[in-house]
Structures are given as structure tokens and as C-alpha cells.
A = this chain, B = another copy of it.
Amino acid sequence: LIMGLFEKHKEFLQRAITALHERTFFAAYPENPSKTIYGENADEEGQDFFKKSLGQKFQELNQDRAESWIGDEESPYLNKSLDISYPGFSSSFLLEQAKSSLGIWKKKSPEERAGILVESLEGVKKRFFDIAYATMHTTGQGYMMAFQASGPHGADRALEAIAAGYEELKRFPASASWIKPMGKYEVHLEKSWVAEPKGVSLVIGCSTFPTWNSMPGLYASLITGNPVIVKPHPKAILPMAIVVAEIQKVLKAEGLPLEICQMAPDRVDNPITKKLAESPDVQLVDYTGGPQFGDYIEGLKGKVTFSEKTGVNSVILHSADDISKVVQNLSFSISLYSGQMCTAPQNIFVSKDGILTPEGNVSAEKFSNLLAENVSALVDNPKAGPFVLGAIQSPNTVSRISGFESGNSVLKEREIENPIFKNARTLSPRVVLMDTSEKSKFSEELFGPLAMVIETENIEESIELAGQLAAEHGAITCGAYSTDENIKNQIKDRMASCFTPVSFNLTGNIYLNQHAAFSDFHVTGGNPSGNASFTNPEFVIKRFVWVGFREPRK
């Protein structure tokens, strides 16, 4: 039966492996939430699911020995508690359960595990609209982003991790005859190898991208044989609860222990993350979140950690054929989900010479005004603004941006009324103009809708500042606009040296915030933003160990 699942998904998996190596466009799960793709009633059913979940116990997790029922989620759109509760367990119980399942899970072949995991993604696919509404009402993402990022894009990243893991597990032969010529005779050893999983894996989620950032680590650990405990952010449990429920559903159907993949919800006022992370039983930790807790996680001894922490993402403006297209693109980039993306640009560097364009040079001040105008037009467009901005996940983000006092404010942040959710917590981007004398102000991530246009001495200083900030404070992405090949090469060299990917001259409907599965490596390590490394081979290889056996031929 289990090999049946592998047979069922073999071609799909092979296409994913091929995509991973071609790095051309590949989308396993359609990102368009259309009725023709997902069914006439899929969206309504998702809405219904969400409404019916409110105020209830989440009963899908099959964790029937719950020690308590806990929940702490609030909708940034409804501005009230979801009042959904989940089965809660002590960390020691969860760890014992996970350990008890390790022996069974690791004995499954890569084929069996791959079959089960891809099957679970097929189940997740049927829940994309459930997950979309769950994501909206925990993270504050707009509907389209909530659908795409938490649904198909998250599933793509998960499939990518399965594909990378499967390939790595099959990379070396399971056995080989080793025959050493010794002159008049030979030594003949029969050798075999197993890919031994590291052990119990802990996946710690964040409040803004609960599935997109957690599914890769979850599936990477599972494909390589490690049982996983998913510890979601207490403010964004529901999206991952659905994913874990779908995995458990397949495990149950295959007669496997559900403890292979457990959900570990907690509350802000009673967190269990440290108890889990510090346990010697936990060998692997995937973490997404703030840098302070991330540094703590990375500092845990004897564990393999994957992190996505923070980034001070820069945009370097040098020259452009059409400055209006640049302004449009960046306006959208900084407005999208109100800057609550780890890939959102924050610092926009323009030198004193201004941006070179066919119509003359555009100064930093002029550019900041253009940006302010464009952002205003976008956020005030009632058919676009509220949906691009979404809502603000945490009240802290509002106070952080409102309390920011440096530079000249070119555009004030505002609440933008959402036509559907009157109580939504919203904030449009602040645009600020400053010079490099205020370096300490732009040298940290100011998570939320804030863009700083920073005037530098010259393009060299712009490049150097972008590089320095990435090297010292981390960067997940960088944008650059230049029509000059020499400048572009300078930017490539500098940003490569601090391990930061660069998007050049993006205009139109593609944004530097977006990293595509099967093509863009994401947070590959080397600067302080983290080492999550979706999905290069390191992301899966570090989750298991090759162990060899050998014996003379009989």
C-alpha cells in the first residue's frame, strides 16, 4: 500500500527533482485561486471552514490524549480573538512520543516516505482555501497573498524539500562490492550504507508566514526520517494545524504512528519553545522569527539549526530608462503586506548625483516624493490599496513605525479603511528621507511599512552601505537599478561577498519580495539573516548521517 503511494506520485516527484536542477519556472501547485482550477465552491467552503472553526476545539489533530485545550489567536482583520483551541501537551510528553516513533519512521524507505509526504500535500491542496482564510485571520495577509504564500507556494517549497531530500537519500548506492587487488589475491568486502536520521526535529513557526516558512523544514526533516514537532507561533496556529492534520491523516491511513508529526501549540503567556529546543532529545531545529531568539536557537550546543531571522534589505538606485516604472515597482514592494515580509526592501540608496535617467538626474529628494505620490495613489485606490496592504499582524508593528522619528517624513503612515473588515488593524507605508549621518537608524530591521530613502555621497558609497549592512546585520534580498554593466558587476561582486541575492531592474509585475521555489535559493547562509537555505542540498543533507557497514564476502 505504501509503495502504492510512491508509484502514484513518482512522476510528479521526478518532475520536481528535474525542476530543482533546471531552476527554470516550475509551479507544482497552481497559484491562481480560480474556480476552474480548484472547484466552484472551494472558496466558499474555505470561508465556511473558517467561520465554523471560530470558538471551537480544533478536532482534526487526532491527539486524543490532550492535557489541555489552548489557543491565543486573534484576527488582525476582525480585531478579536478567534477563540479556537488546540490540544496542548507538555514538552516531555511530546518528546517521548516523537522518540517512540523514530524507530518506525526511519525504517521506512525513501520511496515510502516520499509517497506518504507527497500524498499529504495532495491533501493540503484540497485545504488551500481553508488555509488561506486561516492565514488571513492570523497574519493579516491580504486574501491573494494568504492563498498563494500559505497554499501553493508553501506546498511548492515543501515539495522542493521532499525532492531535494529524496535525491540526496538516493545519491549513493545502498550497497556495493569493494574489491581491492592485492597482487596475488584480492580483498573483497561487501559494503552497505544507511542514511541515519539525526533524531527528533523541532520546527518553530512565525506569526507572519506560518506555513511558507515552516513547511520546508517540516518536510525536509520528515523525508530524511526524522519525527517532527511543529511549534507554531501562538498567534498563528490554525494554518499549520491544517497541514499537520493532513499529514496525520495519511500516516493514519498507512497504519503509522501519528507521533511522527505532532503539533505543539502554546500560549504567549506560557511558552514551551525553550523547553523543547533545549532538550537533548532534539537534534534539529528550524526557526523563523526575530533575531534575538534566533541567536539563542543557533547558540544551542550540539544541534543542527536552520534559521530565518531578519534582514536589512537594501535597494541601490543608480540609473534607469524609465524612472516611473521603478517608482511603481518599489511602491508596490514596500506596500505589499505592509512591509511585513522578510524580503521587503527597507533602505533605498540614492547618491547625491541622483538617479541617471534619459530625462536627467532624479535626486534622492525628488525620488522620495515620487515614491510618496505613488504609494499614496496605490493605498488610496479602494480597489487595490486595502488588499495589497492587508492588516498588521502585531500591534507592536504599528507602534514601531509610528514611533520612528528620524529623517524627514515625506509620507506619513495612515490607517486605510478596509471595505470588508471595518475593524481591521491597518497601516500604510511611511516614507522617510535621510542622509548617511543617521546610519544607526537604518542599520537595523524596522519590521513593518517603512521605507527610507537615503542620500549617499556616490554610487560607491551606496553599494558599500548595502554590503556592510548585509554583512553586519543580515540581508535576505537586495534590489538594484542600473543600466551600466560595470556598476551592475560591482553590485554583484559586493553583494555576493556578503551572500545576498540581487534582483536587477525589476519593473512590472515581479517584485524583489518574491523568491520562487525550484529556482531562487532563499536565505542560503553566510550573513546574519540566517541559514535556512531553502532548498539547496545543505538543507536536507544536514538532517541525516551516512553510516556504513562492511563485511568480507562469504
Q: Which residues of A contact B (CB under 8 A)?
A: 21-25, 27, 168, 171-173, 176-182, 187, 189, 191, 193-194, 196, 198, 299, 301, 492, 495-497, 499-510, 516, 519-521, 524-526, 536-538, 541-542, 545-552
Q: How far is the CB of A174 from chain B (nearest CB, A)?
A: 10
Q: Which residues of B contact A180 (CB under 8 A)?
A: 25, 27, 510, 516
B505-A552 in contact (CB<8A): yes
Q: Across the two chains, which residue of chain B brings its CB closest to A505?
A: B551
Which residues of the other chain, B, contact A547 by a CB distance below 8 angstroms? 495-496, 499-501, 521, 524
A550 to chain B, nearest CB (A): 5
Those 8 A-B pairs whose CB atoms lie nearest each other, nearest first: A504-B551, A526-B545, A501-B548, A499-B545, A496-B547, A23-B176, A521-B546, A196-B496
Number of copies: 2
23 residue pairs from A and B, CB less than 8 Å apart: A21-B173, A22-B176, A23-B173, A23-B193, A24-B176, A24-B177, A24-B178, A25-B179, A178-B519, A189-B510, A191-B520, A196-B496, A495-B547, A500-B547, A502-B549, A503-B551, A505-B551, A520-B548, A524-B546, A536-B541, A536-B546, A538-B541, A538-B542
Contact in complex: A550, B191 (CB < 8 Å): no
Closest to A549 in B: B502
Contacts of A548 in B (CB 8 A): 501-502, 520-521
Nearest-neighbour CB distance to chain B for A466, whole angstroms, equals 14
Q: Is the CB of B537 within 8 A of A171?
A: yes
A469 → chain B closest CB, angstroms:
16
* Nearest B-chain residue to A477, judged by Cβ: B548
Select A525's contact among B505, B508, B537, B545, beta carbons within 8 Å. Answer: B545
Closest to A21 in B: B172
Closest B residue by C-beta to A493: B103
Contacts of A542 in B (CB 8 A): 538
Bound together, the chains give a CA A492 to CA B551 distance in angstroms of: 12
CB-CB under 8 A from A509, the residues of chain B are 182, 187
The listed residue with most B CB atoms (<10 A of its CB), out of A173, A198, A548, is: A548
CB distance from A106 to the nearest CB of B (A): 9
With a cutoff of 8 Å between Cβ atoms, the chain B residues found around residue A171 in the complex are 21, 537
The residues of B that contact A182 with a CB separation of less than 8 Å are 509
A538: B residues at CB distance < 8 A: 538, 541-542
Chain B residue numbers with a CB within 8 Å of A502 are 548-550
Q: Which of A21, A181, A526 has the most CB of B within 10 A?
A: A526
Chain B residue nearest in CB terms to A550: B503
Interface residue from B178, B496, B508 paired with A516 (Cβ < 8 Å): B178
Write out the residue numbers on chain B whose beta carbons fall within 8 Å of the beta carbon of A499. 196, 545, 547
Q: Contacts A187-B510, A509-B187 given: A492-B549 contact, CB under 8 Å?
A: yes
Quick one: which of B525, B545, B546, B552 contacts A510, CB cutoff 8 A? Answer: B552
Residues of chain B within 8 A (CB-CB) of A24 are 176-179
Question: Which of A178, A503, A525, A545 has the most chain B CB atoms inside 10 A of its CB?
Answer: A545
Contact of A537 among B191, B520, B537 (CB under 8 A): B537
Question: Complex formed: what's the CA distance from A227 to B396 in Å?
Answer: 45
In Å, the complex CA distance between A469 and B180 comes to: 32
Determine whether the beta carbon of B173 is less than 8 Å from that of A22. yes
Q: How far is the CB of A553 from chain B (nearest CB, A)?
A: 10
Query: Are the CB atoms of A541 and B537 closer together than 8 Å?
Result: yes
Q: Which residues of B contact A505 (CB under 8 A)?
A: 551-552
- Tell me the minimal C-beta distance from A15 to chain B in angstroms: 16
Chain B residues, Cβ within 8 Å of A27: 180
Point out the residues of chain B lying under 8 angstroms from A181, CB to CB: 25
CB distance from A539 to the nearest CB of B (A): 10
The reply to whether B176 and A519 contact each other, CB–CB distance below 8 Å, is: yes
- Report Cα–Cα, A406/B24, bound state, in Å: 65
A414 to B537 alpha-carbon distance, docked (Å): 51
User: A257 to chain B: closest CB distance in Å?
Assistant: 18
Chain B contacts for A189, CB-based, 8 A: 510
- Chain B neighbourhood of A198, CB < 8 A: 526
Q: Smallest Cβ distance from A128 to chain B, in angstroms?
A: 19
Shortest CB-to-CB span from A36 to chain B, Å, is 12
Contacts of A524 in B (CB 8 A): 545-547
Residues of B within 8 A of A510 (CB): 180, 187, 189, 552
Q: Find chain B residues with CB under 8 A from A173 CB.
A: 21-23
Q: What's the Cα separation between A210 and B215 when bound, in Å?
A: 44
Most buried by B among A191, A299, A492: A191
Q: Shortest distance in angstroms between A100's beta carbon and chain B's nearest beta carbon?
A: 14
Q: Whole-angstrom distance between the alpha carbons of A509 and B552 in the complex?
A: 11
Q: How far is the CB of A169 from chain B (nearest CB, A)?
A: 12
Q: Given the complex, which residues of B lie within 8 Å of A536, measured CB to CB?
A: 541, 546
Shortest beta-carbon distance from A302 to chain B in Å: 8
How many angstroms from the CA of A177 to the CA of B177 in the assembled complex? 42
Minimum CB–CB distance from A236 to chain B (whole Å) comes to 28
A304 to B, closest residue via Cβ: B525
Note all chain B residues with C-beta closer than 8 A to A507: 552
A521 to B23, CA, bound (A): 30
**Beyond A21-B171, A171-B537, A524-B546, 4 extra complex contacts between A and B, CB < 8 Å:** A25-B178, A27-B180, A187-B509, A507-B552
